Amino acid sequence: MTTTPSTPANQPPAHGALARPPQQAPGLIQGLRSLVATPLNALLTVLALAIAWFLLRPAIEFLFIDAVWSGHDRAACLAGEAGGETGACWPYIARRLGYFIYGQYPEAQRWRPNAAMALCALNIGWALWPRAPFRGAALFSFVLPFPVIAWILLYGPGFSGLVAVPSNLWGGVLVTLVISIVGIVVSLPLGVLLALGRRSQMPVVCAASTVFIEVMRGVPLLAVLFMANRMLPLFLPPGVLPDPLVRVMVGVSLFAAAGMAEVIRGGLQALPKGQYEAAAALGLGYWQMMFTVILPQALTLVIPGIVNTFISLFKDTTLVTVVGIFDLLTTIDVSSRDPAWATPVTASTGYAFAAIFYFICCYAMSRYSAAMERRLAAAGSRS
């Protein structure tokens, strides 16, 4: 079953891994000179400019120059004076922003998702900021207390005194975030267990982990989601019916756990053997050795990999739209069918908005991951 060759090398290279340009930022003059240094270079410069012009010009025209910036309904975004199509229809986004962020979450209760998102941002900031104190505690709080508090805030179960908001009213960015954060919170510990299992000396444990990991990595997420969303209830006893949102979370988490396991396994393999031997020499038991010596080092080594897994998880949540969960992309799709706003550019505007949202989030995360990688490399070269 172990068909993948040396796995760390098999990972896609980290986002921005070694992403530094070949030389550290050359001066402006020097940079300009490099553009025309040789005939070949001059030709390449012209070529690059031409490609950029052909690709960027329509995008800029659509997003800014031809865009409509104010209006109350579709009339504003229908064909302009010249009869041609207009660019992006921004008033539609402005009018629907609340729906895109919260879905049908009751307006009076929207402070709750806001509070949950703020808590989440604080917690992640604490865990990821390299100089913050007690970062281990931050990680722990993100995996245990935070999800519970967030769930109480968002769902409002009976004992909390909050108005219950069932999950079929959640939508938009809120659902995108909930699915990806649950995905990471579940897949991290599960990934650790699976990675340890795959490296285990016990044949049954190793085989079980390997089969799970390879099966999950061998099938498309879409098939896993179909399975989780529609088939899961078939595998449960009659009458046991998890919430649809929970079902896709199960699918996404299991899928992400397999990827996470491989990242962590890379970290475990990268640790020098001496670490294991030293821990054994101290007489530590297996779990003591893992938790006090091996895992802290291995996990630190693969922080960039973990962030990258999260980035792909975050991007992959868009697939839930295919199984009918109201994530950001679905809310955009549904709103574009509103007769009040239906124009030839409504759908494109929605997609542009989603693209910008995803790009900002993912790019920020990939920059962080690259920075961490540089820190790790620097720390490695010092020692």
Within residues 332-351, the interface with other proteins by CB under 8 A covers 333-334, 336-337, 339, 342-344, 347-348, 351
Taking the complex as a whole, the smallest distance from the CB of residue 153 to other proteins amounts, in Å, to: 21
Taking the complex as a whole, the smallest distance from the CB of residue 359 to other proteins amounts, in Å, to: 5
Query: Considering the rule CB under 8 A, would residue 139 count as an interface residue with other proteins?
Result: no
Query: Considering the rule CB under 8 A, would residue 31 count as an interface residue with other proteins?
Result: yes
Query: Considering the rule CB under 8 A, would residue 9 count as an interface residue with other proteins?
Result: yes
Closest CA to 335 of 361, 355, 353: 353
* End-to-end Cα spacing for the chain: 38
Looking at residue 237, what DSSP letter applies?
A: P
Taking the complex as a whole, the smallest distance from the CB of residue 119 to other proteins amounts, in Å, to: 25
On whether the CB atoms of residues 310 and 184 are closer than 8 A, the answer is: yes
Query: Considering the rule CB under 8 A, would residue 60 count as an interface residue with other proteins?
Result: no
Token output for 231: 């088939």
Dihedral angle sign, alpha carbons of residues 279, 282, 286, 290:
negative
Query: Considering the rule CB under 8 A, would residue 233 count as an interface residue with other proteins?
Result: yes
Query: Considering the rule CB under 8 A, would residue 130 count as an interface residue with other proteins?
Result: no
Site for other proteins in 361-380 (CB under 8 A): 362-363, 366
Taking the complex as a whole, the smallest distance from the CB of residue 134 to other proteins amounts, in Å, to: 25
Token output for 165: 């908001």
Residue 123 or 350 having the CB closest to other proteins: 350
Kindly write out the interface string for residues 273-302 of this chain, putting x where it contacts other proteins by CB under 8 A and - elsewhere. ----------x-xxx---------------
Widest pairwise Cα distance in the chain: 82
Query: Considering the rule CB under 8 A, would residue 244 count as an interface residue with other proteins?
Result: yes
Task: Tell me the C-alpha distance between 348 and 105, whole Å.
Answer: 25
Query: Considering the rule CB under 8 A, would residue 94 count as an interface residue with other proteins?
Result: no
**Count of Cβ atoms closer than 10 Å to residue 67 Cβ:** 19
Residue with the two structure tokens 């921005």? 16
